[in-house]
Structure 1
């Protein structure tokens, strides 16, 4: 079978693996029809690929950024604690719809066996998590901007503050919040959830927006201006220290990361919210002004797999 045919088959198998983190305070949680509360909403989950800035930034492609949550509704971020998000392909598969009656342990609301992956099941729906197995899940992140006006958020003021390795995989995910997070301004902060899948389809990315509020804050030290992360899997001394930007990749404009070649497992490199780009698992405790020289938490690396698959220069799997 030709490489092109394999790419087509791979993309067909993974084309529906679209996920986002669902929480209170989320933009377009109710959909993108004014006045309609759509409990079967999947508007925020579509992937972002080769789009203009105005289309990928906070999922502007379908107007998600124009549908804020209700007044007073926030994603709460307890300083020094953690919060829970539900990663799913549709609001219906979360506790935000039908009182949770259509949920399961998995992002699609269906039943799947433990250790679910395309390596140990003939079920084509193993593609729901956009990864070959849990250990290869690329990692997801939350970022924060200390402005309540989403139109004023940009790469220079949106800082990654929490990362969870080996996600997305199961539906319920806990994210840790740095203890030194200062309080938000009046009107709250603006947060974003980010994910770049590790191959398995087009080399796209995901971005969702939230109105968020830091609770139990005791520190007044502001977050630092973030820098673009760099690939540092093979030399951790080259990782960017301190506050880091969200990663923009394979878009028509505004990309801030570029990678090429193979990673240490023999797969095509893909920027990810994990040690390969210098992100620790959990709270990003070095994001504050004058904290960039703090000792970075050592990453606990998952076992490496040697399946040769990934994406080439055209962004497709082969």
Structure 2
């Protein structure tokens, strides 16, 4: 008799006559025996806490040199740089000459594994091809990515040597996950360094699997990736504010080395919410990068002209190089959206900065601080945003200074957001909504029609390469368990 645990939280019992009985959640068509109850609990717990990594002989720490079988699956949050960079495996490369092949202009499959020994062999199991691994709902997936550095020495590579080249919006959803490959050029001496990347929904945990890779089937006209002009991705709730071009992986939620401004438990995702198109990223090369990095005229400031809603004739913008650099504490000051619906101000005496409705005072954005009066919100010449109080700085948007070119302007938009833009017209930061409306952006929606498409090759050859396949956890006393979840091994001992 075979019991199978599904990431969709159902249990299937194979009867001797080959028929199946399925029971979902805790509603069972017949009284469960002890084994059934324990397996069901195991599936529910294991599926809900699963952590993932990429599995292939080319991954770092594949031979478990540190004695910790689950290290590549560990969620990284609040770690120092040496611990999270390469998942702490810089000194544990795969065997020399072992690489994961990336067919240029083709497709490749990666195998994603959870709390299993990284050295356990794999066998094909098509059942995993169609089940959502980490969540029972497709709209809860938030995207995975692959990134590449055209260097082979992990001790010489830096955070800015990696650029994302492929994205799957509704990942993690299956164990054998396909990725489309753009028109990548050859790797020097047949070896590059790559990352598999994933950010869990609503958590500060970052997942990264480092592996050695090589590009095959290279097109004769392939252009290099434009690393010199790569940028960090930024959230863009309005698709018209998104920018394309080569972008770094997310480095988020750690003690050192972050490049993303998101606060804890509101992580960035590899989705259209951050300007990522589905599939191969064709805009990352020197001949396709759309960003000119030339200064553009400052757009005219749009203002609310309703004297009833804007009796003090407030503007909608703060600029980093003139008298409007500051928003001083004042219940009647601040900035107001051009459609007059939203006001952003620093509340007098409280150290609170907030976005409120001009009609009913409902809040869309709020930051509470301990700053002492007098205080003011400032946009710096380097593109930083900070609330400064008496002799101290109480709060700043993290990891946005140093990107872009000033002067910068902070605008309040008609949809109730703050957006920071540099002198080249590039979107550098935006506030979040208190009502979490960003989570309503479905990961499988088509790329916005307003986005441009890019052609990085005129002649394409398609390849299909399978990196690896499904892992089987093990067998014991005639019961085969196939499941996902970080607690798998511990629960097996308890079940059996």
Same structural fold, with TM-score higher than 0.5 when normalized by the shorter chain: yes
1:250 shift after superposition: 1.1
**Cross-structure match for 2:51:** 18
Determine the C-alpha separation between the residues in 1 that align with 2:194 and 2:109.
14
Q: Residue 164 of structure 1 is aligned with which of 162, 168, 180?
A: 168
Match of 1:72 in 2: 97
Distance 1:99 1:88 in 2: 10
Q: 1:42 aligns with which of 70, 79, 88?
A: 70
Do the aligned residues in 2 keep the contact of 1:84 with 1:175 (CA within 8 Å)? Answer: yes
In structure 2, C-alpha distance between the alignment counterparts of 1:53 and 1:196, rounded to whole Å: 17
The aligned runs of 1:30-179 (5 Å cut-off) are 30-33=63-66, 41-60=69-88, 64-90=89-115, 97-100=120-123, 105-106=127-128, 129=134, 131=135, 133-178=137-182
2:58 match: secondary structure: coil
Contact 1:231/1:259, CA 8 A, preserved across alignment? no
Which residue in 1 is equivalent to 2:259?
A: 256
1:192 aligns with 2:195: yes
Counterpart for residue 471 of structure 2: none
Give, in angstroms, the shift of residue 283 of structure 1.
0.3
Tell whether the 8 Å contact from 1:105 to 1:171 is kept in structure 2 after alignment.
no
Counterpart position of 2:412: none
Give, in angstroms, the shift of residue 136 of structure 1: 1.7
1:173-252 alignment to 2 at 5 Å? 173-178=177-182, 180-199=183-202, 202-218=203-219, 219-225=221-227, 226-232=230-236, 234-252=237-255
Distance in 2, matches of 1:237 and 1:148, equals 37
**CA distance 1:98–1:189, change in 2 (3 Å):** closer
Deviates more, 1:205-214 or 1:153-162: 153-162
Tell which structure's C-alpha radius of gyration is larger: 2
> 1:289 deviation in Å?
0.8
CA distance in 1, matches of 2:245, 2:192: 20
Alignment RMSD (CA, Å): 3.0
Q: 1-side partners of 2:266 and 2:240: how far apart?
A: 19
Question: Any idea what the Cα deviations from partners look like across 1:57-109, whole Å, max 9, x if unmatched?
Answer: 1101xxx222211122100000000111111114558xx734427x67449xx
CA contact (8 A) 1:88 1:106 kept: no
Q: Which residue of 2 aligns with 1:302?
A: 444
Question: What is the CA-CA distance between 1:132 and the residue it aligns to?
Answer: 5.5
Tell me how far apart the structure 2 counterparts of residues 92 and 204 of structure 1 sit (CA, whole Å).
Answer: 21
Label 1:44 to 1:238 Cα distance change in 2 as closer, same or farther (>3 A): same
Contact map agreement 2:143 2:443 (CA 8 A) in 1: no
Decide whether the 8 Å contact of 1:139 with 1:272 is kept in 2: yes
Tell me the distance in 2 between the aligned counterparts of 1:104 and 1:269: 34
Partner Cα distance (1:187, 1:76) in 2 = 10
Q: Equivalent residue for 2:334? A: none
In the alignment, the residues of structure 2 paired with residue 191 and residue 115 of structure 1 have an alpha-carbon distance, to the nearest angstrom, of 26
- Cα distance in 2 for partners of 1:58, 1:133 equals 30
- For structure 1, list consecutive stretches of 5 or more residues without a partner in the other structure: 1-11, 108-113, 117-127, 262-267, 304-318
Distance 1:139 1:183 in 2: 27
Task: Flag the 1:183–1:206 CA change in 2: closer, same or farther, 3 A.
Answer: same
Shift of the 43–13 alpha-carbon distance from structure 1 to 2, 3 Å rule, reads closer
Q: Distance in 2 between matches of 1:253 and 1:99?
A: 36
Higher relative contact order (CA 8 A, sep 6+): 1
Contact 2:104 / 2:216 at 8 angstroms: preserved in 1?
yes
> TM-score, structure 2 length as denominator?
0.46
Q: Report how far residue 237 of structure 1 moved.
A: 2.2
**TM-score, structure 1 length as denominator?**
0.70
The alpha carbon displacement at 1:271 in A equals: 0.7
Comparing both structures, which one devotes a greater share of its residues to strand? 2
Whether the aligned pair in 1 keeps the contact of 2:252 and 2:258 (CA below 8 Å) is yes
Asked if the contact 1:161–1:283 (Cα under 8 Å) also holds between the matched residues in 2, the reply is yes
Paired residues, number: 250
Distance in 1 (alpha carbons) for counterparts of 2:81 and 2:122: 36
> C-alpha offsets along residues 7-53 of structure 1, whole Å, 9 cap, x if unaligned?
xxxxx98873210111231111221248xxx9xx4221101001111
